[in-house]
């Protein structure tokens, strides 16, 4: 499965990318929503792992853009946040995310969580 990790924190981005690669996924990493838009256009991912709090275009805005576009609305998005009181699960699901992960990310379950979200979206 092709996964696009969008995370501005370099340590988190590298950790999530490494865990997913070890699980057999093809991973691309981007530090901003703006960079991610180019990557999505160039090579559509099967699932997106998206930090909600990004500089510039935030994760909620990016999700709305992707879900509002016929070419990208079917891509499953899994939101990641360190601020569950600010970015509530219900709000993230309402804008179009398939799932929400609270930081710190449980690396033992990360690949399964993405695979489950992708499977739910394909039903």
Q: 28: domain CATH number?
A: 3.40.50.2300
- Between 122 and 33, the more confident residue is 33
The domain in which residue 71 lies consists of 2-122
Show the tokens assigned to 104.
Answer: 């710190």
Number of domains in the chain: 1
Rounded to two decimals, the pTM is: 0.95
Q: For residue 98, what are the contacts with CB-CB under 8 A and spacing of at least 6?
A: 76, 77, 78, 117, 118, 120, 121
State the pLDDT at residue 84.
86
> For 39-85, what is each residue's pLDDT tens digit?
998 999 999 999 999 999 999 999 999 999 999 999 999 999 999 88
**89/17 Cα distance (integer angstroms):** 23
pLDDT band at 122 (very low <50, low <70, confident <90, very high): low
Q: DSSP 3-state assignment of 7?
A: coil
Residue-wise DSSP of 78-113: EEEES-TTTS-HHHHHHHT-SEEEESSP-TTTHHHH
At which residue do the structure tokens 């981007």 appear? 30
């Amino acid at each position: 499965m092709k996964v696009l990790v969008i995370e501005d924190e370099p340590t988190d981005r590298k950790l999530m990318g490494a865990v997913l690669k070890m699980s057999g996924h093809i991973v691309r990493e981007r530090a901003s929503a703006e960079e991610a838009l180019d990557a999505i256009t160039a090579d559509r991912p099967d699932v997106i792992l998206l930090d909600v709090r990004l500089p510039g275009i935030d994760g909620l805005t990016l999700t709305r853009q992707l879900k509002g576009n016929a070419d990208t609305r079917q891509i499953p998005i899994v939101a990641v946040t360190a601020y569950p009181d600010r970015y509530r699960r219900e709000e993230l699901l309402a804008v179009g995310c398939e799932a929400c992960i609270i930081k710190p990310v449980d690396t033992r379950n990360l690949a399964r969580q993405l695979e489950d979200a992708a499977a739910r979206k394909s039903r």
